[in-house]
Structure 1
Amino acid sequence: MTKKENITLQRITYLRGPNVWTYRPVLEVWLDLGELEDWPSHQLPGFNARLTAMLPALIEHHCGVGERGGFLQRLQEGTWAGHVLEHVVIELLNLAGMPTGFGQTRSTSQHGVYRMVFRARDEQVARTALAEGHALLMAAVNSESFDVAAAVERVREKIDDCYLGPSTASIVGAATDRRIPHIRLNDGNLVQIGYGSAQRRIWTAETDLTSAIAEGIAGDKDLTKTLLKACGVPVPEGEIVDSPEAAWRAAEDIGGPVVIKPTDGNHGRGVSLDLRTREEIEAAYRLAEQHGSEVLVERFIPGEEHRLLVVGGRVVAAARGESAWVIGDGRSTVVELIDSQINSDPRRGTTEDFPLNRLDITHDDVVVLELQRQGLSGHAVPAAGRKVLIQRNGNVAIDCTDQVHPEVDHIVSLAARVVGLDIAGIDVVAEDISKPLQAQGGAIVEVNAGPGLLMHLKPAEGMPRPVGRDIVNHLFADDASGRIPVVGVAGSQGTADIAQLVAWLVHLSGRHVGLACRDGLFLAGRRVGRGDCANWASGHRLLMNREVQTVVIENGAATILDDGLPYDRCHVGVVTDLGGAETLERHDIRDTEQMPRVMRTQVDTVLPEGAAVLNADDERIADMARLSDGEVLFYSLLAEDNETVAAHRAQGGRVVLLRASRVVLATGTAEVVCVDLQRRRILLAPSIVLAALAAGWALGIAPELMAAGLETFASSPTRS
């Protein structure tokens, strides 16, 4: 078979918010199949076998058939390369650890050109998966070799580089489970959970409730011990020293074995345990001073190390460490024994995805010191049967949450409160965590701000704990949604005026309102951005503002098609008209009949407790009522002759209508006159007034206030 020409990726667009395809972010790719338009899968000799050999798990893809093996059935029947690429990319993401289920491929009006989309949590990860999938597909088409494992690894590396860390992802995932929205604020793990004034911020396991003073205290181990001791919390005695000689003198004063560690270190760096001789103590001092500003000598507490996670004043998870040993065989070096007996454990790895770390003595001075105490080095060959201690209390990753004694829970929670941390990782050394500390001589040895969560999310042994959920529940009350009222106004005619009028009505109701429209960006009536701000970036900017209590955003069809909506859901979604198709040819939209699919996006995002505000004078818009998860409010200039309005009122629905010059708010058969446009000399187009008042009514603004707002709108800041 002659080699087939490469599929051309004409255009790649990251749709960040709800769009014509789905509620969630996707990568949209325009594909020109070229000559492959004439070669469906079942006509490419050997293609299906080659592809499924490369990606055996494609059998799990249901596709449109709706059952396991559905996609393979489509391959055998014959499907086009764009559809195949969709599934290849999805499978590469699955293999790389970012499960992805959604994808679609649709033809365009151009011969051989398709639009293919797939779920994309991160743009750069999605682009990498697309590039790898594209290469894999062409290799399968042309019967060329392809290293699938290397491709998956490249996607996985991009995930590690670009996506949220597992601790942050667990919190964001828990927020999503509660339908609380989130916005990533940087390329790292700083995330806003919630919108506007209802938001909270996290940075991994630190929150905007985490005190900087408390962090400073936790970073000073000697100060932390002083405060805890004053409150009756058991801590090991110790003192700060400034030389190896002083460390030895302090050890003699304390008596018995000691621990030496930096006062402001972290992750166990520079910490040496169970030191007894002067040589050990002075060597440990020199190691500790490399990892902190001061060195602390304190009494060694016998027992296992435990990490207890305190969230909002209560222990929500606990993990225990264990020592790492190797047994000599008389032939292998210590380094070789570590690799064969410890690092061979599949739970160990170099990334955060593994509950246990690989041990590398070339980068761990504490392990080197421990070996020296046993008269060994990494290149030594222990005698057969000799047991060699490699690491004391290594990775704390054995879940013991259910074993924590209530008295230990109380003491540990008290320690977090004393330091002032809302989220803390408390290190406890005890022989048995199921017994009170004082009775067994146990103690709290450290209080840590910003603790790691992975040991609780993916313990090496035991049950995973939902600590992300615990943190979200700490930040948000049970009935809190993390949302502020969001109003989206979609259409092409008068939408800027509608958005400005709605914002003015909200402002008069006493709420700090943000407005993004084609006339600019406004906060509480003050213009902070000029030019056309009816776009995704401006709307997103408002949602990030901690002062904003309500947001009003004008959305055109181009915004929905270019970026998606700037919010995940809204409280009020207004659709005014289906105009503007003539400006959307680049999106393959060529007539008004294609517009309902675009503009329905505004209605699809209405919350169950929200409302869709629809122009009932256009049957295609009125038909969108069936798509709303929330209430529907119709507005109509021709209500007296509109069967849709009559049927809606007969069911007790709400309608805003124009009778002569009076705006009437109707609920079922009950009516209230809001304002007489002629008598009040309101010069705005009636369609604008009706749409804005319907949105205001959906937000719960009183008719009297809306009437006053109409009269004063001309003097509002957005009109000046």
Structure 2
Amino acid sequence: MSIDRPAPAGPLAPDLRIIEERVYRGGNIWSYRPAVHLVVDLGVLEGYPTNTIPGFTDGLLELLPRVGGHTCSRGHEGGFGERLREGTWVGHVAEHVALQLQQEAGHDERRGKTRMVKDRPGVYNVVYGYTDEGVGLSAGRLAVRLINHLIEPEDEFDFAEELELFLRRAERTAFGPSTAAILEEAASRDIPFIRLNSASLVQLGQGKYAQRIRATMTSHTGALAVDIASDKDMTIKLLGSAGLPVPKQETCRTEDGAVEAARRVGYPVVVKPLDGNHGRGVGLNLDNPDDVRAAFAVAKEQSRNGWVIVESFITGKDYRCLIVGGRMRAIAERVPAHVIGDGTNTIEQLVAITNADPRRGVGHEKVLTRIAVDDAAIERVKDQGYAMDDVPPEGTMVKLALTGNMSTGGISIDRTFDAHPDNVEIAEEAARVIGLDVAGIDFICPDITAPVRETGGAICEVNAAPGFRMHTHPTVGEPQFIAKPVVDLLFPPGAPSRVPIVAVTGTNGKTTTSRMIAHIFKETGKKVGMTSTDGIVIDERLVIKSDASGPRSARMVLQNPRVEVAVMEVARGGILREGLGYDRNDIAVVTNIAPDHLGMKGIDTLEQLADVKAVIVEAVPRDGFAILNADDPHVRRMRNRCSGNIVWYSLKPEDSKERAFINARLRRGGRAVVLDRTERGDMIVIKHGSRSMQLAWTHLLPATFGGTAMFNVANAMAAAGAAFAAGIGLHEIRQGLRTFTTSYYLSPGRMNLINVRGMEVIVDYCHNAPGMEVLGQFVDRYADRKAATSEWGKISRIGMIATAGDRRDEDLRELGRVAARYFDVLVVREDQRLRGRQPGEAAELIREGIREADAAGGVRVRAAETVLDEVDAVRHCVARANPGDIVVLCVDNHAKVVAELETITHSAQAGSSGDEPGDPDFDARTHPAG
């Protein structure tokens, strides 16, 4: 960004503000990975680069010193600091501050870019990566506030306080150490994951291969085993019956019962809740009835069902053995929360010094937990002969907790390779007896290096969902990489974790192409999950009816455990709004790029629209494929963005420049689907290098209407290319295309042919001028073929047309001009959603285009009428037609239109009574969309 602009006459002011926020959850137009996108307005700050703002750079580096070390565009450490002093704009500063704030929260994000919005001086796109989207958004907002504060101090803004609030939020939403360790291991193996809630419930893998974890519980963890481990009394009984060393114990619900149990077990004893966790409510080394009564009250308060355990006190050290898949993976010695006297500081001061360790946080957010100074801790210090304001002698250990749990401030020492083999065998057997795939076995024994059966140790607990941080981040010793065996349990080496993803985009034809691809996969026996503008379909069942061509719908498909193949229709709006919603697609299909949706969300040209659609091509991995339309120059140029292989397809004849382009690629071993024209008809041919494989005659494919619907010929070729790239055999591809029809049940709203009172009514979604062009060409060919054999005489063509109101005025006029060339009668309607226009406004613009075409001459139209309501317009078109005529209905709500056509048909058959029962899927009185 250049800085040689004159400063404005206005005064410097803290004008930076966010005018739009977006979160991309997958590949997007800015990045291959998830990103936050802020559109910021600099206001008068557009004229003030950082080197012209007094004290700005020094103030920023004082508050966030590490931000100056960012490499930025300079490519070396400290590059951004140089840019600050040379002069850069505050939008760029916001990007780097947002990244640094996330780094302060432990999120290693370094990706970002800032670009000016075209034709909007002072407005910038600020894009940066995130690990947690909530934290990423908060970082951007705090960055803007900080920049404005540095320009003009805000009385109520305390950056240290705001930073602390930000970090606390990051801690609340971050994965705990155990979950994070598993996800890091999964990521290293290219196993995708989806967070299913705001806590630790995560899906690893996709579709039929999906597994779930919640912290360290997995899809393989039995609910019965978890219940048994939660019942400490049952756990000890089962382990004891298996001959494993366990303490004596009894359960009770009253103080007197606890005292009697202690007498029978024998002092000293331990009192703890039957179903507690994290060491809460545990009383140790109790050697008299009064202590037992006091400990009983504490334990009962922590017990969910009111039962308390009294067991014999085993002396020794506290060890946690981690068992995964029946094998010992790590052992940690747990030392209770304590401080070591230095002869100078009080116990209270020593606790504060210990808690200042950056590794310590609240709860499980960090590798160590801060020591809490509560009544129990003060009592424990008192039992050792100290008060909190005493200064213990140098080297003296003062304990502040009874148990060695990490959650109460304890530390861990790695003992994985010190354990005696007998102890390892006992721990592994305990996990098998309880039935846990991931288990934490708690040993109390004098020394883990000696057999517990000889030294008098015992298993005191078996824990489901054991924490990993004492093993992955021991305070002393080497960390153990225990996430690997957990992921091995869920995904053994070589096991798949991803389902094939086929993404389809383009201006026209993407829905039909998606349905064809899904149908071919279905014919091979696969269960297909598909998203489209009509909804989400899982294994041929419509589960959600809505426009489902966005990233959220894609994630829903990938979460479904029945899905073996995912076919995603990807729309421009979803990419701009949230990105793809997944990290990559194995196959990307781009049908065409035509003028539609221009003038919306900053997309004003076909080149820009192509850049948006190319996101799915950029998401193709090296072993994947892009299926590209060689007849479209915008699609053809996408080859430069593909990391994988390309399958071209073309409708052009052999002597065309497009086929020459393809032939050059075939000579280098490329792949293509082409159309060979012969006297017998048009043959779809798949080519791979020098090999040619005939696939099907176009006139034998039902969706092509005898080969006259060339746009569906192109869609079939794209689908064939995708299926060929996926490794499906020629016979299966041929069979899939031969059995795919444009019936309403298989392809609702896409070229559905319905006979109504002797008229051929075609229901289609065509809604833009390029689509109308190819639809009109089909009507020409179809009508000519029909006229050659018709007994009805002259065939009229009636068309019902409309488009969305948020298109440009010129787009609406162009639709009218194109339609006028192909239809005798045009009925102009409007969608139910006017999208910002007044009733009748969009229809009048289309009528203007029709009138312009008529005035220019050489068009077919002889009558044009406006009927705004869709159902009324359908009735009007049918009333205008005679038997043998062709009626083309370009619809918005296909269900209501087809229901109305069924009603008209039934009424005609029953003498126009209109009271006969109809097909419930079509009948307007019963159809959900009616």
Cα offset, 1:343, TM superposition = 4.5
Cα offset, 1:328, TM superposition = 8.3
Q: Could you say what secondary structure the match of 2:719 adopts?
A: helix
Q: Identify the structure with bigger relative contact order (alpha carbons < 8 Å, sequence gap 6+).
A: 1
Q: Could you say what secondary structure the match of 1:718 adopts?
A: coil
User: Equivalent residues in 2 for 1:614-693 (5 A)?
Assistant: 614-638=628-652, 640=654, 641=656, 642-660=659-677, 661-680=682-701, 682-683=704-705, 684=709, 685-693=712-720
Residue 598 of structure 1 is matched in structure 2 by 612
Q: Could you say what secondary structure the match of 2:635 adopts?
A: helix
Structure 1 length-normalised TM: 0.93
> 1:259, 1:300 within 8 Å by CA — same for their partners in 2?
yes
* 2:137 aligned to which of 127, 134, 138: 127
Query: What do residues 132-182 of structure 1 show as CA deviations (whole Å, max 9, x unaligned)?
Result: 110111222346786443232122122123332332222222212211111
**Inter-partner Cα distance in structure 1 for 2:603 and 2:359:** 52
Q: What are the ranges of 5 or more consecutive residues in structure 2 without an aligned counterpart? A: 1-9, 405-409, 749-930
> 1:331, 1:381 within 8 Å by CA — same for their partners in 2?
no
Is 2:214 aligned against 1:191?
no
User: Equivalent residues in 2 for 1:538-577 (5 A)?
Assistant: 538-577=553-592
User: Which residue identity lines up with residue 557 of structure 2 in the other structure?
Assistant: L
Residue 460 of structure 2 is matched in structure 1 by 445
User: Which residue identity lines up with residue 603 of structure 1 in the other structure?
Assistant: V
Cα 1:327–1:696, aligned 2, differ >3 Å: closer, same or farther? closer
**Inter-partner Cα distance in structure 2 for 1:571 and 1:171:** 25
Q: What are the ranges of 5 or more consecutive residues in structure 1 without an aligned counterpart? A: none
**Inter-partner Cα distance in structure 2 for 1:474 and 1:423:** 10
Query: What do residues 257-297 of structure 1 show as CA deviations (whole Å, max 9, x unaligned)?
Result: 22221221111111122222232223222322222231222
Q: Could you say what secondary structure the match of 1:629 adopts?
A: coil
Is 2:725 aligned against 1:707?
no
**Inter-partner Cα distance in structure 1 for 2:31 and 2:481:** 28
Residue 73 of structure 1 is matched in structure 2 by 82
User: Which residue identity lines up with residue 622 of structure 1 in the other structure?
Assistant: R
Is 2:176 aligned against 1:165?
yes
Query: What do residues 406-441 of structure 1 show as CA deviations (whole Å, max 9, x unaligned)?
Result: 332222122111111111111111222223221222
User: Which residue identity lines up with residue 560 of structure 1 in the other structure?
Assistant: I
> 2:444, 2:458 within 8 Å by CA — same for their partners in 1?
yes
User: Which residue identity lines up with residue 707 of structure 1 in the other structure?
Assistant: R
**Inter-partner Cα distance in structure 1 for 2:653 and 2:637:** 16
User: Which residue identity lines up with residue 53 of structure 1 in the other structure?
Assistant: E
> 1:603, 1:627 within 8 Å by CA — same for their partners in 2?
yes
> 2:649, 2:718 within 8 Å by CA — same for their partners in 1?
yes
Is 2:211 aligned against 1:200?
yes
Cα offset, 1:256, TM superposition = 4.4
Query: What do residues 354-389 of structure 1 show as CA deviations (whole Å, max 9, x unaligned)?
Result: 44433334353xx4664565577x678688788754
> 1:534, 1:555 within 8 Å by CA — same for their partners in 2?
yes
Greater shift, 597-606 or 542-551, is seen at 597-606
Residue 315 of structure 2 is matched in structure 1 by 302
Greater Cα radius of gyration, structure 1 or 2: 2
Residue 165 of structure 2 is matched in structure 1 by 154
User: Which residue identity lines up with residue 675 of structure 1 in the other structure?
Assistant: A
Residue 10 of structure 1 is matched in structure 2 by 19
Greater shift, 215-224 or 165-174, is seen at 165-174
Is 2:238 aligned against 1:227?
yes
Is 2:318 aligned against 1:318?
no
**Inter-partner Cα distance in structure 1 for 2:70 and 2:357:** 32
* 1:415 aligned to which of 425, 430, 435: 430
**Inter-partner Cα distance in structure 2 for 1:429 and 1:14:** 50
Cα offset, 1:341, TM superposition = 7.1
Cα 1:328–1:500, aligned 2, differ >3 Å: closer, same or farther? closer
Cα 1:622–1:347, aligned 2, differ >3 Å: closer, same or farther? closer
Residue 223 of structure 2 is matched in structure 1 by 212
Residue 529 of structure 1 is matched in structure 2 by 544
Q: Could you say what secondary structure the match of 2:721 adopts?
A: helix
* 1:87 aligned to which of 69, 75, 96: 96
Which stretches of structure 1, 4 residues or more, deviate above 6 A after TM superposition? 143-146, 327-334, 382-387
CA RMSD of superposed structures (Å): 2.6
> 1:168, 1:204 within 8 Å by CA — same for their partners in 2?
yes
Cα 1:243–1:706, aligned 2, differ >3 Å: closer, same or farther? same
Query: What do residues 652-699 of structure 1 show as CA deviations (whole Å, max 9, x unaligned)?
Result: 122111111111111111111111112455435221111011111112
* 2:372 aligned to which of 355, 360, 364: 360
**Inter-partner Cα distance in structure 2 for 1:382 and 1:115:** 58
Residue 609 of structure 1 is matched in structure 2 by 623
**Inter-partner Cα distance in structure 2 for 1:355 and 1:673:** 63
**Inter-partner Cα distance in structure 2 for 1:506 and 1:427:** 51
Q: Could you say what secondary structure the match of 1:585 adopts?
A: coil
User: Which residue identity lines up with residue 639 of structure 2 in the other structure?
Assistant: A
Cα offset, 1:345, TM superposition = 5.5
Greater shift, 402-411 or 686-695, is seen at 402-411
> 1:128, 1:155 within 8 Å by CA — same for their partners in 2?
yes
Cα 1:584–1:404, aligned 2, differ >3 Å: closer, same or farther? farther
Residue 269 of structure 1 is matched in structure 2 by 280
Residue 248 of structure 1 is matched in structure 2 by 259
Q: Could you say what secondary structure the match of 2:400 adopts?
A: strand
User: Which residue identity lines up with residue 686 of structure 2 in the other structure?
Assistant: L
Cα offset, 1:214, TM superposition = 0.4
Residue 469 of structure 2 is matched in structure 1 by 454
User: Which residue identity lines up with residue 228 of structure 1 in the other structure?
Assistant: L
> 1:527, 1:718 within 8 Å by CA — same for their partners in 2?
no
Cα offset, 1:511, TM superposition = 0.8
* 2:494 aligned to which of 468, 479, 484: 479
User: Equivalent residues in 2 for 1:577-588 (5 A)?
Assistant: 577-580=592-595, 582-588=596-602
Residue 747 of structure 2 is matched in structure 1 by 719
Is 2:60 aligned against 1:51?
yes
Cα offset, 1:340, TM superposition = 5.4
Q: Could you say what secondary structure the match of 2:20 adopts?
A: strand
Cα offset, 1:75, TM superposition = 2.4
**Inter-partner Cα distance in structure 1 for 2:66 and 2:358:** 22
Cα offset, 1:47, TM superposition = 2.7
Give the count of matched residue pairs: 715
User: Which residue identity lines up with residue 246 of structure 1 in the other structure?
Assistant: G
Cα offset, 1:612, TM superposition = 1.4
Query: What do residues 172-222 of structure 1 show as CA deviations (whole Å, max 9, x unaligned)?
Result: 222122111111111211111111111111111111111110010001111
**Inter-partner Cα distance in structure 1 for 2:438 and 2:130:** 31
> 2:14, 2:149 within 8 Å by CA — same for their partners in 1?
no
Structure 2 length-normalised TM: 0.73
Q: Could you say what secondary structure the match of 1:391 adopts?
A: coil
Residue 41 of structure 1 is matched in structure 2 by 50
Cα 1:619–1:58, aligned 2, differ >3 Å: closer, same or farther? same
Greater shift, 265-274 or 390-399, is seen at 390-399
Cα offset, 1:591, TM superposition = 0.7
User: Which residue identity lines up with residue 210 of structure 1 in the other structure?
Assistant: T
Query: What do residues 430-474 of structure 1 show as CA deviations (whole Å, max 9, x unaligned)?
Result: 222223221222221100111122222322222233233332222
Is 2:116 aligned against 1:141?
no
**Inter-partner Cα distance in structure 1 for 2:375 and 2:500:** 53
Residue 61 of structure 1 is matched in structure 2 by 70
